[in-house]
Each structure stands twice: as structure tokens, then as C-alpha cells.
Amino acid sequence: MIELSKGEDLLLTTEDGSPVNRVRMGLGWDNIRNAGFAGTGRPDVDLDATAVQFTGDQLFDLAFYNNLQTRDGSVVHLGDNLTGKGEGDDEAITVDLGKVHGPVDQIVFMVSSYQGHSLEWVGHAYCRLVDEAQDVELARFTLTYGVAETGLVMASLKRDGDGWRLRAIGEGIAATIPSESVAKLRRFL
């Protein structure tokens, strides 16, 4: 198992040195007591996973709850979970690295709170990046009690020759609606 910490990077290759072809970003969370309607009248905590494709520092496309697939078909959001109920990953995004459009040189993964809750309002929250073929977790960040902002930039994938390099970022940002957060992501490119 390979696990990265904030600031580390890794060339995405399998044990035999061939490039990793597919990755999945998983996001999981639970509302903490008194976080939603039952305790405070506030809406349930609704976290959203997003993958944003860049060409240089220009937005190419993004996949999130309101745009489930990028134009090139390489990034697919597997559906929106509004409450965090259920076991395992509550939301997931897959990336077929071999299908990423040629000019796209970076993909940034982020989590945001649609209702504007700080990530401190969630329990057992995490985001992780997994090598799909081998079901190996590459990076994981715990969100609970550690992120006062409404969003988190989890990691980025950057082209590196014929392959891709994963960089673990793990920094909070003010973000609620993914399409309005693009400008805040440029500093991570």
C-alpha cells in the first residue's frame, strides 16, 4: 500500500513500472450530531466531490454533481449524495487517464460543502485517491475537525512524460459551488 501525506508526490506506476490507467477519488462523511435539520434547522451537510481539468492555467472542463462527465469522457462523477448516509465512499469520481484530452495537463480534485458548512461539521469524513485496477489507496485526507473552511483541495494529477504524477495537497479553501471555485484552484497548479 502506498499512502501519501500532504505535500508529497508520486509517479503513478504499477509495481512493474507501467503507468496507472484509472484512478478513483472517493469521498465519505457523516453528519455530526446537531449538524443538520434534526438539531439546528440547518440543511444536512452536503459535500461534493469535483475533478477540474486544466490546460496550463485555463479551465478545460470539470465533473461534479451538476456535470457528471467531462467532454472528453475521461472523468466521470458517479452520482451526488446529499446526506453522507451509507457505508464506504458516499461520492466517487473515476478518471481514465488514457482518455484525457491531449492538451489537458493537470486535474485537480476538490471537496466542497454545498450548503456552506465548514468541514468541521462532518464526522468520519475523508477523501481518498485509489488506483482502480489494483484497488490500492494512493492518498487519503481526514477532513473531520481539521478543516475550518468549506472546501478542501485534495490532490492534483499532472502529466509527467507518458504518465501522470500525483501530488497530495490537502489545503482548505472557501468553496461551495465547484464551478465558482475554479479561480481559487489556480494557485495549486
Interatomic CA distance for residues 149 and 85, integer angstroms? 22
The DSSP letter of residue 14 is -
- Give 142-173 pLDDT, tens digit per residue: 766 667 888 889 889 999 998 999 998 888 89
The CATH superfamily holding the domain 9-188 is sav2460 like domains (2.60.60.30)
pLDDT at 82 over 80: no
The mean pLDDT of the chain is 85
pLDDT at 38 over 50: no
pTM to 2 decimals? 0.88
- Give 122-132 pLDDT, tens digit per residue: 777 777 888 99
- Give 62-75 pLDDT, tens digit per residue: 999 999 999 999 99
pLDDT-based confidence at 138, cuts 50/70/90?
Answer: confident
